[in-house]
Amino acid sequence: MSQEIQVLVALDREVDRGLIEALVSRGPRLRVLDYLELDGPAASGLGAGEALVVVVADYSEQARDFVVAANRQHPLRPILLVCPSGGGNNNYLGEAFNNGVDDIIALPDDQGGLDPSVSMQLGFAVEKALMRKRGSAAPKPESVRNVVCVLGLKGGSGKTLTSVNLGVALAEAGRSVALMDLDLQFGDLALAMGLTPVRTIYDLVRSGGSLDAGKLEDFLMEHPSGVRALLAPVRPEQAAMITVAFLSEVQRLLAEMFEFVVIDTPPSFSPEVISTIDHSTDALVVAMRDTLALKNTKLGLETLERMEFDRGRLKVLLNRANTNVGIERDDILAILGRDVDIFVPSHRDVARSINQGMPIASQRGSEAATAFHALAQLYIDASEARSRQASPPDPGESPRGHEHEPARAPRQPRQSLFRRARGSA
């Protein structure tokens, strides 16, 4: 850690900036890079600093949106919330933790006589949060990584549809998710998600220098669901610059940064796909209900077998499952030699969702959305079972277990002991 910690300070309009400047500048080892207004043109400055200090008179909707956006943009940068200890909307402080705040420092009610100990407390809290974040970014063991490679040897079988909707369903379940488009020449993940490819993997490779999590984060595009996407180059010839070794490094970093990584692939066993399978923890094969597609799926399953891919980490999704083409479930079982895990029906709303760039998983109530949420739940259950196996519960563990969890998209409010402590005070 450098001698000084560079912090970015964001304030709402109710806060006395002079007092806060005095508070922060007296803190040990803190150097303020910039002061931002919560309702100002913050986005351009949001990338700076090793830590973000948000000072609010009340945890308003505006403060919450700011914290959520900052956390999504830079999940590895700690966020400290400074707010009054008395008054204010304290019921929402528990929510602040769920939104991505790492620690809360309560200012004394009488701000006129700001005690130097508060500056010390802030400095230590920043330092502690930084250490914790860096600690949680330490390599995760293989057993708790979740990298799902979505495969299908037939073009148009629904790999992109599946990748996008699995990603969105996981994010809507409160998980942090990265999607990667490995169809480097003709990838259309951006279109299917309604994202403009402002930055792609091509820009990342061209940016030069060493690759680390902080840098990679800057090249991920954000979807309203909270999913972060590493998009394919916008022109096919740009794919030539991207090597298999570079892709492996990107995938390794994504697996460290997110709870789930979902990788959409082109319809072939190209070198980058084979390397991705080798580095994935799970494979999801997308099949369709027609004889030729099923024959290709069978070939794909055999290839995975030859690669000694763990059968227990393999799932099959049957897309357009309701299409009546004279192939019944028993026939599919006979051809594939295994059963199907998830069925996604064919529906014009599904095609429309792709064309409009609005993932069907967000359109609750449709059969397809239900199928993708069920698929996401299978992965969540499997991941939780593996985590439990990897680390049996420690009876002396801190009750604020979320401090040690990896960064996640703050979609679903989770239980917060802090809120209970406040409520019962």
Give contact residues for ligand ATP (rule: CB under 6 A). Answer: 152, 155-161, 183, 267, 319-320, 344, 346-347, 350-351, 354
Handedness of CA 388, 390, 393, 399 (dihedral sign): negative
CB of 268 to Mg ion, least distance (A): 11
Q: Is 403 helix (H, G, I), strand (E, B) or coil?
A: helix
Q: Which of 71, 98, 99, 160 binds Mg ion (CB under 5 A)?
A: 160
From the CA atom positions of the chain, what is the Rg in Å? Answer: 23
Instruction: For residue 267, give the nearest of 242, 235, 292, 241 by alpha carbon.
Output: 292
From the list Mg ion, ligand ATP, none, which binds 267 (C-beta under 5 to 8 Å, kind-based)? Answer: ligand ATP
Closer to ligand ATP by Cβ: residue 101 or 368? 368
265 binds Mg ion (CB under 5 A): no
Q: Which residues does residue 82 pair with via DSSP β-bridges, in sequence order?
A: 55, 105
From the list ligand ATP, Mg ion, none, which binds 350 (C-beta under 5 to 8 Å, kind-based)? Answer: ligand ATP
CB of 352 to ligand ATP, least distance (A): 8
Closer to Mg ion by Cβ: residue 42 or 191? 191
- One DSSP character per residue, 200-232 reads -HHHHHHT-S---HHHHHHTPEEPTTS-EEEPP
Closer to Mg ion by Cβ: residue 160 or 200? 160
Binding pattern for the stretch 113-152 against Mg ion, x by CB under 5 A and - elsewhere: ----------------------------------------
Q: Which residues fall within 8 angstroms of residue 180, CB to CB, at 6 or more apart? A: 201, 229, 230, 250, 251, 254, 261, 262, 263, 264
Q: Is 349 helix (H, G, I), strand (E, B) or coil?
A: helix
From the list Mg ion, ligand ATP, none, which binds 89 (C-beta under 5 to 8 Å, kind-based)? Answer: none
Centre a 10 Å sphere on the Cβ of residue 400 and count the other Cβ atoms it contains: 11
From the list ligand ATP, Mg ion, none, which binds 161 (C-beta under 5 to 8 Å, kind-based)? Answer: ligand ATP
CB of 158 to ligand ATP, least distance (A): 4
Helix axes 244-257, 271-279, angle to 10 degrees: 30
Binding site for Mg ion (CB under 5 A): 159-160
